[in-house]
Amino acid sequence: MDIRTRILKAAADVYASTGFRGATTRRIAQEAGCNEITLFRHFGSKACLLHEAVRCAGMEIAPTTLPDPPRSPRAELSDWAHRQHQHLLEKRSIIRTCMGEVEEHPEIFPTADGATDHAALGLTTYLAGLKAHKLTAVDFDEGAAAAMLIGVLFADAMGRDIMPKLFPAKPEQAVTRYVDLFLRAIGAVKQ
Amino acid sequence: MDIRTRILKAAADVYASTGFRGATTRRIAQEAGCNEITLFRHFGSKACLLHEAVRCAGMEIAPTTLPDPPRSPRAELSDWAHRQHQHLLEKRSIIRTCMGEVEEHPEIFPTADGATDHAALGLTTYLAGLKAHKLTAVDFDEGAAAAMLIGVLFADAMGRDIMPKLFPAKPEQAVTRYVDLFLRAIGAVKQ
DNA sequence: ATGCCTTGCAAGCATACACTTGCATACATC
DNA sequence: GATGTATGCAAGTGTATGCTTGCAAGGCAT
């Protein structure tokens, strides 16, 4: 692997587990298996390195999309939710660290082009499509509904390892149940 | 105010905005308006001080309870949800910091006696009561439902200031909509 | 072979940190 | 008045950190 890539990965890992202050240049260099100076030669400063490392770590996402003409809400939403949850679960460490430091280092937080915003937009559009195609029996606010589904997926992925009482079920089972509840909440027509 | 209390409050504030490493004894002392040594004389070490400060900051909670024989699900759940959300919103800073550092400092994270666990238990019990009293039209998993409502309240409170696209509505309006969706999800009987 | 480019090594610098020591000052209780 | 207790001030210790400097070793193209 390229040394630059190795450094970026090491920086993201160390940052995820120790935060900005804890991610010392010495430790990142050790984790990357290179000399400390090489970091500075490549990225100039610790701040620039971490900034880019977090940006790249967030960019690895393969954004799951929902079909444009919705056909089978249950199947499509279930598939989408499981993928989103899986992704959040894998990245939970760096996401939690980023969120914990967003007030001190807002510039390091991937905001506008973040995956979550993208996911929210996609889901909202999909839900609007559901209504347009008469696949729901009741009226509801797409924005609130999207926030609700994404919210519970997010909270579950962030909290299940540290608050096991709140999320006792296994990940896949839990997500399936969330989707079930969600479908009923938006009055999805059974197929 | 007692100096000990002042120090604890200052420690919690500084910790909430800068994390464990960022919460230097100098800055805490400055924030508390006392000498740095006083911290050590009272609490022995920075770790002990922060541990107790976070514990106390989390303990300030006035845990909102749900009525035992449920009567009006919409009114009761709405009231409860708004209170929970308000509380999470007020404490979002320290909660985010705690979550971001839970892997590095698990001992500082208020777990078992935490408010969230308590809230989850109370809500689960309430939902079971709803089913027992035939106030719901469909069957559902109380645990998953509780996680869903708490999850979205949590995600909203943690994320609305840093991901405004995901949570565009005003807090109270958003919570009301979550509760509406939730009531439909659990098939709550209209009253 | 020469020169360039990347990387490594050793050492160091200025700063900040947690924490300690010694001493002085106030205040309250006896 | 004497004594103990809580707090403050000044100074310092050892360590860690971000970052720099100087120099050498290796690969690679000309």
- Residue A133: its pLDDT value, please? 94
- Residue with the bigger pLDDT between B178 and A60: it is B178
Over residues A116-172, the pLDDT tens digits come to 778 888 999 999 999 999 999 999 999 999 999 999 999 999 999 999 889 999 999
CB-nearest to A165 from B100, B120, B181 is: B120
Of the residues A162, A186, A189, the best mutation for testing chain B's interface (the one with the most B CB atoms within 10 Å of its CB) is A162
User: What average pLDDT does range B35-64 have in this prediction?
Assistant: 88
**Alpha-carbon gap: A43 to the closest alpha carbon of chain B (Å):** 24
The reply to whether the CB atom of residue B34 sits less than 7 A from any atom in nucleic acid chain D is yes
Contact across the interface for B177 and A109, Cβ inside 8 Å: no
Protein-proximal nucleotides of chain C (any atom < 7 Å from a CB): 6-11, 16-22
Q: How many CA atoms lie within 13 A of B190 on its CB side?
A: 2
The reply to whether the CB atom of residue A40 sits less than 7 A from any atom in nucleic acid chain D is yes
- Residue A110: its pLDDT value, please? 78
Q: Which of A35-49, A59-73, B67-81 has the lowest mean pLDDT?
A: A59-73
With bands split at pLDDT 50, 70 and 90, how would you rate the model's confidence at A98?
very high
With bands split at pLDDT 50, 70 and 90, how would you rate the model's confidence at A64?
confident
CATH top-level class of A3-59: mainly alpha
Whole-angstrom CA distances from A46 to A13, A25, A26, A153, B61 are: 14, 7, 10, 33, 39
- Residue B61: its pLDDT value, please? 57
User: What average pLDDT does range A108-118 have in this prediction?
Assistant: 72
- Residue with the bigger pLDDT between B142 and A116: it is B142
Nearest nucleotide by C1' position to the A27 CA atom: D17
**Alpha-carbon gap: B62 to the closest alpha carbon of chain A (Å):** 19
Which DSSP state fits B107? G
A78-86 contacts: CB < 8 A, separation 24 or more? A78/A175, A78/A176, A78/A179, A80/A123, A81/A149, A81/A153, A81/A175, A81/A178, A81/A179, A82/A172, A82/A175, A84/A119, A84/A150, A84/A153, A85/A153, A85/A156, A85/A157, A85/A171, A85/A175, A86/A171
Alpha carbons B99 and B46: distance in angstroms, whole number: 19
Contact across the interface for A99 and B162, Cβ inside 8 Å: yes
Contact across the interface for B21 and A17, Cβ inside 8 Å: no
- Residue B109: its pLDDT value, please? 86
Window B42-71, strand C contacts by Cβ < 7 Å:
45-47
Alpha carbons A19 and A51: distance in angstroms, whole number: 12
- Residue B59: its pLDDT value, please? 55
Total residue count of chain B as it appears in this document: 191
With bands split at pLDDT 50, 70 and 90, how would you rate the model's confidence at A57?
confident
Q: CA-nearest residue of chain A to B95?
A: A100
Domain chopping of chain A, boundaries: 3-59, 73-185
The token pair at A169 is: 């079920």
Window A36-95, strand C contacts by Cβ < 7 Å:
37-38, 41-42
**Alpha-carbon gap: B121 to the closest alpha carbon of chain A (Å):** 8
Over residues B94-132, the pLDDT tens digits come to 999 999 999 999 988 876 556 677 888 899 999 999 999
